[in-house]
C-alpha cells in the first residue's frame, strides 16, 4: 500500500467569523491510500480549537508512513494501530476514512455496508450565518438565498449576540439554531442572553460555555429554557452520563471523533442515553461532508453545510437543492 497526502487551499465565499476567530480561506489535507489501480481518499480538516496545526498534520503523516504496518489485513488492524498513536483526531479520521473508502472500492460494497449501518443518500442541512454586523444580515440572507433552507444556524459571540439574532429573526421565518462556540463565561451571562431573545423559533443553543466549565454547565442545564447541545465538549471520548447531566444532545463530528467507527459509536451511545443527536462538520470539501452523510441515518439534526462555503469545491461529490444535500451521481 502506498500512502500520499497533499494540502488543498480552499478560498471561502465570505468571511467565516465565529466567537474565537475569523478566516477567509481554509487549508485542509487530502490523504490517499493506493494499491495497484485501487485507491481511497480521506479528508483532514484540522482545527486549532483542538490544538491541531498544519505542522502537526505534516509530522503525523511522516511518522505514520514510517510506522504503519505494511500487511494491514482489515480496518480493525488499522484502528488498533491508530489507537496506539497520539496523532491529531482529524488525521486519524482522514487515514481511517481513506482506508475504508479503499476497502469499499475493492469489495464493491458501500461504506454504510462496511460500517453495518443503514444507507442514507440525502439529508436536510441547516446553513450557518457567521458573526457579522446586524445591518448586513438582510443582504447576506438575500445574496446566498438562505430562504431555501428549512433551518438556519446563527453563530454568535458574547457581545452583540442579541441584536444579531433578532435581526436574523426579522429576516427569516424558519427555526433557528444558535451556536455560541463557547462564547459565554458564566451561567448568568448565558441566561441574560437567553432572556433577551424570543424562544418560539429557537431549536436549541449550542455550546454556550467553554468545555472546561463542567460545574457551570451542570447549573445551566437545570435552569435553561432552551435545549442545550454539546459541541466542543465532545471530541473522541465516549458519550456517558456526564453529557446527559449537562446537555440535551450532542454534536458528533468525524474530525473530532477520529474515525467512522468511533463517531457511529458516539451516536449510538447518545441515543441509548436519550440524548438528541446532531451530525456536524468543519469547513470541508464535499469529500469530507460526504463521509458524514454516510453515517447520517437516524440523526436528529444535520449541520453539513461546510462545503457550501467554498468558492470552488474540488471534488463535487455532493449537490444541494432547497436545503437538501445529496450525492451528485443521483442527479
Within this chain, do residues 60 and 130 fall inside the same structural domain, yes or no? no
Instruction: Specify the CATH number for the domain of residue 201.
Output: 3.20.20.120
Task: Please name the residue that has the C-alpha cell 473508502.
Answer: 101
If you write DSSP's letter for every residue of 158-175 in order, what string do you get?
SSSHHHHHHHHHHH--S-
Taking every pair of C-alpha atoms in the chain, what is the biggest distance, in angstroms? 61
Q: What is the DSSP letter of 104?
A: H
**pTM (predicted TM-score):** 0.96
Contact 204, 178 (CB under 8 A): yes
Tens digits of per-residue pLDDT, 303-323? 999 999 999 999 999 999 999
Contact 275, 300 (CB under 8 A): no
For the cut 60, the answer to whether the pLDDT of residue 61 exceeds it is yes
Within this chain, do residues 128 and 111 fall inside the same structural domain, yes or no? no
Tens digits of per-residue pLDDT, 231-278? 999 999 999 999 999 999 999 999 999 999 999 999 999 999 999 999
Contact 118, 64 (CB under 8 A): no
- Residue 59: the pLDDT is 98
- Residue 331: the pLDDT is 47
Task: Compute the C-alpha angle 101/106/108, nearest 5°.
Answer: 90
The residues facing 99 across adjacent strands are: none
Instruction: Specify the CATH number for the domain of residue 32.
Output: 3.30.390.10
Within this chain, do residues 326 and 180 fall inside the same structural domain, yes or no? yes
Within this chain, do residues 38 and 169 fall inside the same structural domain, yes or no? no
Within this chain, do residues 234 and 99 fall inside the same structural domain, yes or no? no
Name the region of 311 (left: φ>0; alpha: ψ -120 to 50; beta: rest). alpha
- Residue 72: the pLDDT is 84
Task: State the residue range of the domain holding 230.
Answer: 122-330
Please say which residue of 62, 94, 115 terminates a domain. 115
Within this chain, do residues 76 and 218 fall inside the same structural domain, yes or no? no
Tens digits of per-residue pLDDT, 104-146? 999 999 999 999 999 999 999 999 999 999 999 999 999 999 9
Within this chain, do residues 172 and 316 fall inside the same structural domain, yes or no? yes
Nearest to 270 by CA among 292, 298, 290: 298
Tens digits of per-residue pLDDT, 142-189? 999 999 999 999 999 999 999 999 999 999 999 999 999 999 999 999
Within this chain, do residues 190 and 287 fall inside the same structural domain, yes or no? yes
Q: What is the DSSP letter of 130?
A: P
Within this chain, do residues 183 and 309 fall inside the same structural domain, yes or no? yes
Within this chain, do residues 174 and 44 fall inside the same structural domain, yes or no? no
Does an H or E element contain 155, and which? strand 152-155
Q: What is the DSSP letter of 184?
A: B
User: What average pLDDT does the chain have?
Assistant: 97
Within this chain, do residues 195 and 82 fall inside the same structural domain, yes or no? no
Residue 121: C-alpha distances to residues 111, 143, 277, 288, 296 (Å): 12, 28, 18, 15, 9
Contact 254, 291 (CB under 8 A): yes
Contact 182, 204 (CB under 8 A): no
- Residue 329: the pLDDT is 78
Please say which residue of 93, 115, 137 terminates a domain. 115
SS (H, E, C) 253-316: CHHHHCCHHHHHHHHHHHHHCCCEEEECCCCCCHHHHHHHHCCCCCCCEECCCHHHHECCCCCC
Within this chain, do residues 282 and 298 fall inside the same structural domain, yes or no? yes
Q: What is the DSSP letter of 226?
A: S
Please say which residue of 115, 135, 162 terminates a domain. 115
Number of domains in the chain: 2
Amino acid at each position: 500500500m502506498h500512502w500520499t497526502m497533499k494540502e488543498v487551499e480552499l478560498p471561502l465565499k465570505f468571511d467565516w467569523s465565529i466567537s474565537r476567530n475569523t478566516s477567509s480561506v481554509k487549508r485542509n489535507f487530502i490523504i490517499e491510500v493506493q494499491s495497484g489501480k485501487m485507491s481511497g481518499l480521506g479528508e483532514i480538516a484540522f482545527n486549532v480549537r483542538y490544538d491541531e496545526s498544519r505542522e502537526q498534520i505534516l509530522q503525523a503523516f511522516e511518522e505514520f508512513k514510517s510506522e504503519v504496518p505494511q500487511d494491514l489485513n482489515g480496518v480493525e488492524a488499522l484502528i488498533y494501530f491508530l489507537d496506539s498513536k497520539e496523532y491529531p483526531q482529524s488525521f486519524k479520521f482522514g487515514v481511517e476514512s481513506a482506508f475504508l473508502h479503499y476497502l469499499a472500492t475493492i469489495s464493491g460494497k458501500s461504506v454504510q455496508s462496511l460500517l453495518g449501518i443503514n444507507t442514507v443518500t440525502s439529508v436536510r442541512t441547516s446553513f450557518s450565518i457567521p458573526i457579522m454586523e446586524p445591518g448586513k444580515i438582510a443582504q447576506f440572507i438575500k445574496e446566498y438565498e438562505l430562504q431555501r433552507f428549512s433551518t438556519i444556524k446563527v453563530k454568535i459571540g458574547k457581545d452583540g449576540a442579541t441584536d444579531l439574532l433578532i435581526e436574523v429573526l426579522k429576516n427569516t421565518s424558519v427555526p433557528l439554531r444558535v451556536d455560541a462556540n463557547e462564547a459565554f463565561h458564566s451561567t448568568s451571562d448565558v441566561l441574560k442572553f437567553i432572556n433577551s431573545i424570543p424562544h418560539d423559533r429557537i431549536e436549541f443553543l449550542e455550546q454556550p460555555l467553554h468545555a472546561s466549565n463542567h460545574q457551570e454547565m451542570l447549573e445551566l442545564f437545570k435552569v435553561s429554557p432552551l435545549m442545550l447541545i454539546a459541541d466542543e465538549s465532545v471530541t473522541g471520548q465516549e458519550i456517558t452520563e456526564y453529557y446527559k447531566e449537562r446537555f440535551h444532545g450532542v454534536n458528533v463530528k468525524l474530525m473530532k471523533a477520529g474515525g467512522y467507527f468511533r463517531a457511529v459509536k458516539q451516536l449510538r451511545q447518545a441515543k441509548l442515553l436519550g440524548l438528541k443527536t446532531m451530525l456536524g462538520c468543519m469547513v470541508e470539501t464535499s469529500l469530507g461532508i460526504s463521509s458524514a452523510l454516510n453515517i447520517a441515518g437516524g440523526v436528529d439534526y444535520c449541520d453539513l453545510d461546510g462545503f457550501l462555503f467554498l468558492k470552488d469545491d474540488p471534488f463535487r461529490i455532493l449537490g444541494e437543492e432547497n436545503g437538501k444535500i445529496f450525492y451528485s451521481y443521483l442527479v
